[in-house]
Amino acid sequence: MLKRVLLGAAVLGALATAALPALAQTCTPRVADSELVKPRTLTLSTNPTLPPMQYVNAQGQLVGMRVELGEEIAKRLCLTPEHVRVEFAAMIPGLAARRWDMINTGMFYTEERARLIYLVRYEFQTIAVSVPRGNTRNIHRIEDLAGLSVGVEQGGFEFSRTRDILKELESKGLRPITIRPFDNFAVSFQALRAGQVEAAISIDSTGKEYDDRGEFTRAISGLFGTPINFGFRSKPLAEAVAVALTAMRADGFTQRLFDRYGVKGWDEAYGVVGPN
């Protein structure tokens, strides 16, 4: 039985990492303490199982593009960043319960989420299918997945799109895939490594990273292109983040960051969408 690499929602309180060294208070916070979980602190939740976007390195440090982006946003809001590592299924409930201020985990945009929380779109991602190194099954199209066992993180956008793949195969009279849901992407890839599934679905950036490392082959890419967004309980905080992102685009920070990680940024104006 595979070991979970992250603790479940029942022990969220133990997952808060120590805050980074406090920012020098040389500027006035752009967000009132009443909008934050902790005074002068931006508490960000992340699911660190998607290298190179957010993951834990060999030294046990939380790193990746979205980690860097979240910390730069905190800096520009004159707040101290504090990260909470948690599985995706707990993200929105934890936001509503004031466990964190901002979901920073590569959450795909959906109309349903926009009705629940405030969103700021900042990135564009697609989905990839990874297979064992060498792609001995010669998988290049969705149809080639027919009859295979596919691992994916449960409950998120990728899980929903995997179900769409199942429906597409069935509509074409092909054998259905067997969907194996896991607590997070890291466990899904462990299952692929162990031969317990025959393919794993993740974001394209992660599929490419594992391919570049020589661990798995990214057999299919570019599926279901959709914006990625931050999530918020507080509309004033969401608005402040949109302003910070606009400034980061103007001075070139976001483009340099996205280029370094090979990521496509959000092309339109940064703004807040969410409940009326």
User: Is 70 exceeded by the pLDDT of residue 118?
Assistant: yes
**Torsion of the alpha carbons at 130, 200, 156 and 238, rounded to the nearest 10:** -30
For the ranges 25-34, 63-72, 107-116, 258-267, the lowest mean pLDDT is seen at 25-34
What's the rounded Cα separation, in Å, for the pair 4 and 193?
Answer: 15
Whether 61 contacts 269, CB under 8 Å: no
Residue-wise pLDDT for 163-183, tens only, equals 999 999 999 999 999 999 999
User: Is 80 exceeded by the pLDDT of residue 89?
Assistant: yes
The bridge status of strand 62-63 relative to strand 118-132 is unpaired
Q: What pLDDT score does 25 carry? A: 53
Segment 237-246 shows an average pLDDT of 98
Question: Based on the number of CB atoms within 10 Å of its own CB, is 104 exposed (0-12), middle (13-18) or buried (19 or more)?
Answer: buried
Q: What pLDDT score does 26 carry? A: 75
Segment 209-231 shows an average pLDDT of 98
Closest CA to 210 of 231, 235, 239, 189: 189
| Distance, C-alpha 208 to centroid of its chain | 15
The bridge status of strand 272-273 relative to strand 178-182 is unpaired
Q: What pLDDT score does 255 carry? A: 97
| Distance, C-alpha 5 to centroid of its chain | 16
Q: What pLDDT score does 246 carry? A: 98
What's the rounded Cα separation, in Å, for the pair 191 and 83?
Answer: 27
Segment 243-261 shows an average pLDDT of 98
Residue-wise pLDDT for 187-210, tens only, equals 999 999 999 999 999 999 999 999
Residues 6+ apart with CB under 8 A from 155: 88, 89, 181
What's the rounded Cα separation, in Å, for the pair 206 and 53?
Answer: 7
Structural domains present in the chain: 36-124+227-265 (3.40.190.10), 126-225 (3.40.190.10)
The overall average pLDDT reported for the chain is 92
Please report, for residues 20, 96, 190, the alpha-carbon distance to residue 91 in angstroms, rounded to integers and kept in the order given.
Answer: 21, 9, 23
User: Is 60 exceeded by the pLDDT of residue 1?
Assistant: no
